[in-house]
Amino acid sequence: MAAGALGVSTSAVLIGISGASPGTATFYRCALAALMLVPLTIFEWRREGTPTNRQRLYALAAGLLFAGDALWWTQAIGEVGAGLSTVLVNAQVVIMPLLALAVDREPVSRRFLAILPVMIIGIVLTGGVVEQGAGGRDPLAGTVHALVAAACYSGFLFLLRRGGSAGRTVQTYQYVVVSAALVSLGVGSLWNGMTLTPGWVQFGWLVLVAFAGQVTGWLLVALAAPRLSSEAGAALLMLTPIGALLLGAVVLGERPSALQITGSVAILAGTYFISRKANRDAPSRPETRRDAEERQPRS
């Protein structure tokens, strides 16, 4: 689990190093991940059979939102920084229950409502709204775009939940990344342009993004999650935003302000307690794709 969480944490930094536009980065990370997943997809197909039509349709639709998530998040990396953008997209643990409440009338707990103001304050501080000279090229815009990404990711998880995604995890994920790659190919030029012929150096960084975060990190988390308690899983998954913050500082020279760091701590603490509570309350059953991804901070 720790290795997977740290693998996911490299995504933002590797994208930052590559210098790729959101459209280029999103298309290549998804397209390359789809290619890398082919052997595992065939293996799972032979063991478990194919997904249902319902799973396919919902996975393809979820890919639309997954593409939106990746495009907006990559935009935020250049504006608020690799580390802070990774922290901010953890707001999905707040948005997802609110979406379920609005659509399915699924009740939220008092603990969730108590933690919600802490998360909101953390987002405001991380976005540099209350100070001058906050870290990042445009921290306010980056915060807005990271929150849009978090909303897209919440919708992505919600659609997978509606599709009934138990079992055939790799095949379902394959449909998602193929759909996301096609969407980003179509609309990626709207995000600061797009190129299908990046240089070899940039392409190499994008291969690492796909391998480390999109495939390896995700698989390690999905495999380890059912074997850990909810508390241990929630704690270890905090390595993703923490690792991104540290890597952003060391590799990219990012220097968040004291208030931004305070806001990040508030967001991470709220994420941990909401995730731990959600998994503790879940009935005892085999872990599904929904469970693994809802416990996973966004990559």
pLDDT of residue 282: 47
pLDDT of residue 26: 94
For residues 39 and 33, what is the distance between their CA atoms, to the nearest angstrom? 11
Q: How far is CA 169 from the centre of its chain?
A: 17
- CB neighbour class for 110 (10 Å; exposed up to 12, middle 13-18, buried from 19): exposed
pLDDT of residue 27: 95
pLDDT of residue 290: 43
Length of the chain: 299
Neighbours of 105 (CB within 10 A): 7
pLDDT of residue 152: 92
For residues 191 and 79, what is the distance between their CA atoms, to the nearest angstrom? 13
Give the residue among 210, 157, 217, 166 at the shortest CA–CA distance from 184. 210
Token digits of residue 218 = 């995700």
pTM (predicted TM-score): 0.84
Classify residue 107 by its DSSP letter.
Answer: -
pLDDT of residue 275: 73
**How far is the CA of 249 from the CAs of 104, 199, 244, 260, in angstroms?**
41, 26, 8, 13
pLDDT of residue 54: 87
The answer to whether residues 127 and 143 touch, using CB atoms and an 8 Å cutoff, is yes
pLDDT of residue 256: 87
pLDDT of residue 216: 87
Give the residue among 135, 149, 139, 37 at the shortest CA–CA distance from 89. 149
For residues 181 and 178, what is the distance between their CA atoms, to the nearest angstrom? 5
For residues 161 and 51, what is the distance between their CA atoms, to the nearest angstrom? 14
> Helix (H, G, I), strand (E, B), or coil: what is residue 289?
helix
> Helix (H, G, I), strand (E, B), or coil: what is residue 50?
coil
Neighbours of 128 (CB within 10 A): 24
pLDDT tens per residue, the chain (299 residues)? 677 677 788 899 999 999 999 999 999 999 999 999 999 999 999 998 888 888 899 989 999 999 999 999 999 998 988 888 888 888 888 888 888 888 888 888 888 888 889 988 988 888 877 777 666 788 889 999 999 999 998 888 888 777 765 678 888 889 999 999 999 998 988 877 888 999 999 999 999 999 988 888 777 776 666 566 655 666 666 778 888 888 888 998 888 888 889 988 998 888 888 776 555 554 444 444 444 444 454 55
Q: How far is CA 38 from the centre of its chain?
A: 22
| Domain residue extents for the chain | 2-295
> Helix (H, G, I), strand (E, B), or coil: what is residue 61?
helix
**How far is the CA of 68 from the CAs of 170, 201, 280, in angstroms?**
21, 26, 30
